[in-house]
Amino acid sequence: MINKQRLLLLLLPLLVAITWFQPGLDKPQIHPLTQLPADRINTIQIRKKSGTLIKLQRESGGWMMQSPTPGAANSQRINELLGISQTESHLSFPAEDEKLAEYGLSPPRIVLQLNELQLLFGDNDPVYQRRYVKVAGQIHLIDDGFQHHLLAKPSAFSATGE
């Protein structure tokens, strides 16, 4: 007869495997905000509600600021900003023109253009504090981790910094 300790020792690896692999549970799918990979983005424009426009261009030697002050750009800041293209969209729904103002999207606070794709940034959701972003006829809710880049002064995108 097997004693209780031996039985527990035999069952322990099985319980660990069940806990680790969680059979029968589907892994949640992560839906990116866009289908545009960061390494395919060659132009960035940030237009703020105030009218400020920042234009950045990828060139063979790296990123360059085109406007407002031409020169080498801060690659680290730009690479962090490019992560927005693949950030998780927690929820999306069709954008209805008559309701855009409810989400701070009429007019948008900030317009970010990645190549030809426009992302319109509005208010935060009052419950989860996620940002409303309109992309191609859909409104998405994303974590607000990119807002500091979008609100940064133009000089923050310069390689020489602020």
Which pLDDT score is estimated for 119? 97
Which pLDDT score is estimated for 23? 66
Q: Is the pTM of this model over 0.85?
A: no
Which pLDDT score is estimated for 162? 56
Which pLDDT score is estimated for 28? 63
Domain assignment present for residue 1? The answer is no
User: From residue 46, how far is each of 14, 43, 81 by CA, in Å?
Assistant: 54, 10, 11
Helices within 22-124 (DSSP H only): 75-82
Q: Which segments in the chain show pLDDT lower than 50?
A: none
Structurally, how many domains does the chain consist of?
1
Which pLDDT score is estimated for 25? 63
64-89 pLDDT per residue, tens = 999 999 999 999 999 999 999 999 99
Range of the domain at 145: 38-157
83-111 pLDDT per residue, tens = 999 999 999 999 999 999 999 999 999 99
- Reading the block at residue 110, the tokens are 């900030």
Domain assignment present for residue 127? The answer is yes
Q: Exposure string (b/e) for 85-119, b if CB count within 10 Å is 16 or more?
A: bebebeebeebeeeebeebbbeebbbbbbbeeeeb
| Cis peptide bond prior to 94, omega within 30° of 0 | no
Closest C-alpha among 36, 32, 59, 58 to residue 45: 58
Report how far residue 107's alpha carbon sits from residue 120's, in angstroms, rounded to the nearest whole number: 9
Domain assignment present for residue 18? The answer is no
Site of tokens 């960035």: 44
